[in-house]
Amino acid sequence: MTKSIDSLAWQEGFLNLGSAFFTPLKPTPLPDCLGGVVSQSVAKSIGLSSGWELDQHNLEVLTGNAHLENRPAYATVYSGHQFGVWAGQLGDGRAIHLGTVQNGDESYEIQLKGAGKTPYSRMGDGRAVLRSSIREFLCSEAMAGLSIPTTRALALTHSSAPVVREKVETAAVVTRVAPSFIRFGHFEHFASNQQYEDLKSLADFVIENHYSHLQDSEEPYLALLEEVIAKNAALVAKWQAVGFCHGVLNTDNMSILGLTLDYGPFSFIDATDLKYICNHSDSAGRYSYLNQPNVFHWNLVRLAEALLPLIAPGQDEALIDAKVEQLKELLFQFPHQYEHFYQEEMRLKLGLTQSENALVEELVLLLDHNRVDYTFFFRSLCDVVDTASIAAISVIKDLFLDQLGVDLWLQKYLAMIPSEKAKVIAAQMRRHNPKYILRQYLAQKAIENAENGDFGLVHQLHECLQKPYDEQLEFSEFAKLPPEWASQISVSCSS
């Protein structure tokens, strides 16, 4: 362990792929580094010891104001489909990679989001604002607390530098950490440009470093796709079960490792609305909560298309046709895999011994029709199972306009819970139904306070959301139903 960013066990990592994959460049310094907030659990995972954040040099590196000695920073190139339309070349428009760190048996890529322009910034300024940076820092760490695969956030630093969005805001940088930031879009880029040797190098790199058990497979690229499909089916099932809406599920925001990637206009659902759209730029609702599994499937088809030149190399049309049919069969399994994972997540939330698809569907429709607070309902249901008291049942029923509907559902549900095991089951349910999520109004309050120089609420939320299933009486205010004004909060891709 070390207190110095410079002294971490830096490796070549992604740089081994060669110049076709990235552009070396340095972050653009900001006029000042005003500190912010750090994640000690992430710091420990990459090899930093306690107190590392007290070294101003470390914070300057993570702001882009100081550079790692003899370590080339870089931005990567990728392409992708955005809102279902081929967008061509994209790339890291405001993310600059510091490199790859080894700690024990694990390796981590470290990148700065908001550290200045890159060759892939297009018309952007390469910066991120404090508002969106707080949201990304808190949500990536909240998702980790929920045990949902995600990129992590090591630090958030900020500056007095002005950044123009819908209004003038101030700049911030989030240090993001993940085993890899390789996206579906990286594969799409090289496939679309018919750079098949580079495409093969990328796939081989991913297999060697992240799916090493596939190296001896007879068809490693087909096996890679199969694993990526399964990982993403499991990921979106977890999102749906916890009520998380991403907002911008473009192919360039999809992780080859099945991680939650790129926190833009995300939201956890408050009042249940299956057609909920968290991104006000998404007028057609392509990325609505209900449509997320379908979009995952669509994006996986695009990845399969990008991998086809490796899975069926050469010009033999019969071989290509056979492999296309094989790919179709693999992709056809996604909806079934997703449904299996989703029903398992819901089984755990309800404390049942087996999946009860009809019961789950009936409940979800009840929650939707009555606009019941999703998180509050499931956490309150744990209390009903625990005590079966009139008071606990009343809390649940008061959430619904359709009192008869919820009463009938509760009768069917509670009949499946053995009374002699109720307390044990309730305790298990509390490990799958969070008491605390990053509600929009809490994030908004934290942002407004921080913009006025007070990061206290950011720190409190960060601490609370690391243990979202625990009671944490000191943070009980964060578990209350949101105020009416919370429904008016609107977020977009602008950050």
- Give the domain extent around 419: 352-429
**Does 191 fall in a domain?**
no
232 domain residue, yes or no:
yes
Total count of domains within the chain: 3
Residue 15 lies in a domain: yes
Query: Which of 407, 429, 451 is the last residue in one of the domains?
Result: 429
pLDDT for the residue 392: 92
pLDDT at 96: 97
pLDDT at 494: 56
Residue 59, in any domain of the structure? yes
DSSP 299-312: HHHHHHHHHHHHHS
Same domain, 25 and 148: yes
pLDDT in tens, 197-226: 999 999 999 999 999 999 999 999 999 999
- In terms of domains, do 16 and 137 share one? yes
**Residue 479 belongs to some domain of the structure:** no
Mean pLDDT, each 10-residue run in order, the chain (495 residues): 93 95 96 93 97 94 92 96 96 96 96 96 92 97 98 97 93 98 98 98 98 96 98 98 97 98 94 94 92 98 98 89 94 97 98 95 98 98 93 95 96 95 97 98 96 96 98 96 81 63
Active-site residue 321, yes or no? no
Whole-number pLDDT of residue 495: 58
Instruction: Answer yes or no: do 64 and 151 share one domain.
Output: yes
Give the pLDDT of residue 70: 82
Same structural domain, 62 and 151: yes
164 and 110, same structural domain?
yes
The terminus-to-terminus CA distance of the chain in angstroms comes to 34
Measured CA to CA, the distance from residue 107 to residue 157 in angstroms comes to 23
Q: Do residues 298 and 365 share a domain?
A: no
Contacts 24+ apart (CB under 8 A), 477-484: 478/436, 478/439, 478/442, 479/376, 479/379, 479/435, 479/436, 481/373, 481/376, 482/270, 482/373, 482/439, 482/440, 482/441, 483/441
Name the amino acid, one letter, at 139.
C
Predicted confidence (pLDDT) per residue in 345-355, tens digit: 999 999 999 99
Amino acid, single-letter form, for residue 453: G
How do beta strands 95-103 and 106-113 pair?
Answer: antiparallel
Q: Which of 252, 282, 373, 383 is catalytic?
A: 252
- Structure tokens given for 159: 């500056």
> Is 366 in the same domain as 330?
no
Residue 485 lies in a domain: no
Residues 24 and 155 in one domain: yes
Residue with tokens 């404090």: 130
Please report whether residue 482 resides in a domain. Answer: no
- My answer on whether 378 and 338 are in the same domain is no
One domain, residues 179 and 53: yes
What is residue 489's predicted lDDT score, i.e. its pLDDT?
77
DSSP-assigned beta bridge partners for residue 221? none
Q: Which of the listed residues 382, 403, 429 is the one where a domain comes to its end?
A: 429
Residue that terminates a domain, selected from 429, 449, 482:
429
Cα 24 to Cα 92, 117, 118, 463, 482: the distances in Å are 12, 12, 9, 36, 46
16 in any annotated domain: yes
Q: 119 and 220, same structural domain?
A: no
Residues 178 and 302 reside in one and the same domain = no
